[in-house]
Structure 1
Amino acid sequence: MNNELYVWVFQGSKASFPSAIFSSKEKAICWIKKHKVSGMLSKYPLDISIYDWTITKGFFKPKRDDQKTPKFIQNFSSVYIEDSQYIDGICDD
């Protein structure tokens, strides 16, 4: 049984921080369409960093010492995060 919890994070185009966080993809899409916003909608796991999540899932394994440093970890992102690009409220995938 899968007990993992996720949130959906919307970051507007050229925004430095997220614009909205949702408990479901459906709620996120409704908001995106309603406001006709542009940006990225991404699915993030709760209570675990993306760095640790990718290691746990077997998607990434640090191979060098620099890949275990705070600077590396704080900037870490993954192509394994489910995401969709929206332009004027319409999915561009």
Structure 2
Amino acid sequence: MNEMEMEATVWIFVATKAAFPSGVFGSVADAENWIVKHGLTGLLTEYPIGTGVFDWAIASGKFKPKPAKKLDAAFIGQFTTASMAHHHYEDGCRQD
């Protein structure tokens, strides 16, 4: 296992059309129990603890910034990547 795989993570659920997360969990199993219980639709994503997604993506080799790209606070603050582990749900059922 490399260092990135050993870091602590959490699973965050964001419902479709929601502006903010509605649940944070220590495992997929705990998250899925809650998602199924309430028949939720949305996205469950694994996030590293103690670092931002932008920095995590660079450190793990998932993102390589282009020199000409403007990497300002707005870009970094909104950065996301499909490289993060994630699962889609509809009405409480995993879709992937």
Q: TM-score, normalised by structure 1?
A: 0.92
Identity %: 39
Match of 1:28 in 2: 31
**Residue 67 to residue 80, structure 1, CA distance change in 2 (3 Å):** farther
Match of 1:48 in 2: 51
Structure 2 segments unaligned to the other structure (5+ residues): none
Distance in 1 between residues matched to 2:70 and 2:7, nearest whole Å: 25
The question of whether the paired residues in 2 share the 8 Å contact of 1:67 and 1:73 is answered with no
1:61 partnered with 2:64: yes
1:92 partnered with 2:95: yes
1:79 partnered with 2:77: no
Deviation of 1:37 after TM superposition, in Å, equals 0.8
Match of 1:7 in 2: 10
Query: How large is the Cα RMSD of the aligned pairs?
Result: 1.3
Structure 1 segments unaligned to the other structure (5+ residues): none
Counterpart selection for 1:17 from 20, 42, 63: 20
Task: State how many pairs are aligned.
Answer: 93
The question of whether the paired residues in 2 share the 8 Å contact of 1:66 and 1:72 is answered with no
SS in 1 for 2:76: helix
Match for 1:45: what amino acid?
A: P
Q: Which consecutive segments of 4 or more residues in structure 1 shift more than 3 A?
A: none
Deviation of 1:66 after TM superposition, in Å, equals 3.9
Deviation of 1:68 after TM superposition, in Å, equals 2.5
Match for 1:57: what amino acid?
A: S
